[in-house]
Amino acid sequence: MNRKLFGVLSGSSRAVAVVLLAIAALLFWQPAAVDAQAPAQNPLAGAQVFGSKGCVSCHSVHGLGGKVGPDLGRISRRRSFYELAATMWNHLPQMGEQARERGIERPPMNSGEAANLIAFLFTIDYFDPPGNVEVGQQLFTEKKCVVCHQVGSYGGVVGPELDFLGQYGSPILVASAMWNHGPAMAEEMRERGLQRPGFTASELTDLIAYLESMAADPLEGSLYVLPGRADDGRVIFVEKRCNQCHGVSGPGIRVGGNLAERRLQPSLMEFAAAMWNKAPAMMRAMDDMGLSVPQLGAGEMADVVAFLYSVQYFSEAGYSGRGRQRIREKGCLNCHSLDGRGGESAGDLALVRGIASPASVISSLWNHSIVMEAGMESEAVPWPIFSPQEMADVAAFFQSLESSR
């Protein structure tokens, strides 16, 4: 597939493509921070797990599915792997109760299925819903785009025609085009006495919807493509000198802030809007530092976005020593033993096998909970609740046991 088309959507079928892209967002890249032995995160396969394991019978995604549990299409955007894993674990008692009431048997899950399911949940809100064509047409005039740009036969001829953006409706393509032409657009607007407009994500969504509606030659059929490759994005982030102003992890003073912070994890349309709105300040900072403004193709922009999301995906670093402590604090040793110490009603945790990756730890906990839930309920033992960091620590502890063998 042509890498220049990454992040592009077909204008003729955007409503369907938004959903399909949301579950295919990470299909061919592994998060950079994940252990080499961990299975690839495949949201498309995760959507199938969501159906085959019965999740869809209780949960909906953007209104499609069961109504017993919350709509997972409306969960907080950009949760990390361990946030999602901890939420699944903490929810198991209620999930089990609902399953029993409905006569549903909770099936086991292997590590690949667990990884893919969490990847699916992570990418549900990656893309924004389609915009409003009428509002977009208004914005095209109100934001003064019409002074320089033409759509169809309407508008100025100073800047390039925008029909090609409408043909694809891609937020990443829009972001790269706005970034690359930013300096020239700023100069032209200064000469014409025009104030540079800002855009919110919803405004940009509406504007793209209008451009799509005006596209003279829409693409034939549907084009489903990926948002980018995280490993390539890491390289581009350095090659384009983004790292001169922005950090992605760890302490340190950065001119442009840390792009991997949770509050800065946007949808693709929010990312495109931020690139446009912050471009003047970024370009002034680069000029002060003696840096030229780098050009970014749509594929390169998509790769950088994928890299930034991958950093957040495994944001909690687990520590095995703390994981051992968490196991004691959560009461696991009331039933299990560890190195010969603890309860006798269940096995020794140090002898557990097949837990070399974060996903395998999660699937093991899921499968064990099916038996564990009934026993704890009969003995009126409270269900242990884990925070994302605690879940990361427990996963690190079990992985340390596997690596020491």
Q: What is d(CA 316, CA 256) in angstroms, rounded to the nearest whole number?
A: 23
Comparison of pLDDT for 230 and 287, the residue scoring more? 287
pTM attached to this predicted model = 0.64
| Residue 164 scores a pLDDT above 80 | no
Chain segment 212-229, per-residue pLDDT in tens = 887 665 554 433 334 567
| pLDDT tens-digit map of 112-154 | 888 888 878 877 766 667 789 999 999 999 998 888 888 877 8
Kindly report which listed range (96-105, 117-126, 347-356) carries the lowest average pLDDT score. 117-126
pLDDT of residue 168: 61
Q: Name which of 137-141, 249-253, 312-316 the model is least confident about.
A: 249-253
245: Cα separation from own chain's centroid: 23
Q: Tell which wins on pLDDT, 355 or 390.
A: 390
CB 323 within 8 A of CB 330: no
pLDDT above 70 for 9:
no
The answer to whether 60 touches 71, Cβ cutoff 8 Å, is yes
Q: How far apart are CA 110 and CA 357, in angstroms?
A: 12
Residue-level pLDDT at 99: 80
Helix axes 268-277, 201-214, angle to 10 degrees: 100
